[in-house]
Amino acid sequence: MQDDISDLKGDLHAIAEVLGRQKALYLVSKCPRYKVEKRQGAGQLLLYVPKLKNFDLKHNLVQMLGYEDAYKLSQHFGGELLTLSQCKQIILKNRNLGIKAMLQQGFKKEQIAEFFDLTPRAVCMVASGTN
């Protein structure tokens, strides 16, 4: 089954074509934000993908995605600095679906809160749809 990546734009769309939608969104959620001078907001997401000859197991891309997926990105985008979109709404929607699925599977709200770095109250708000 192919992931629907039509809602992703630019470099993130290209990454999703290589790794799939879920892994691309996971990558966005783990990337550090860089403040740009004279710009407000959460900052830009910049991702440097090393060339294959400089590919190192200690690179942060390997730490975030694992060797196989980081290697795929290096094959396609090696040496490039990618600018990724924040995708906040998409990530929150997926997070909320994950919370609801974990509740249905019997996880305690405290366990879910710890996993998603939320408070138990926030988990209850997601579960009730008041977020």
Average pLDDT by stretches of 10, the chain with 131 residues: 69 89 84 64 74 87 91 93 78 86 94 91 89 63
Residue-level pLDDT at 37: 60
pTM (2 d.p.): 0.63
pLDDT at 131: 63
**C-alpha–C-alpha distance, residues 120 and 101, integer Å:** 16
Residue pair 32/64 in contact (Cβ under 8 Å)? The answer is: no
CA distance 116 to 105: 16
Q: How far apart are the two ends of the chain, measured CA to CA in Å?
A: 30
Query: Strand 81-84 to strand 44-48: parallel, antiparallel, or no bridges (unpaired)?
Result: antiparallel
Give the pLDDT confidence score for residue 112 in this predicted structure. 94
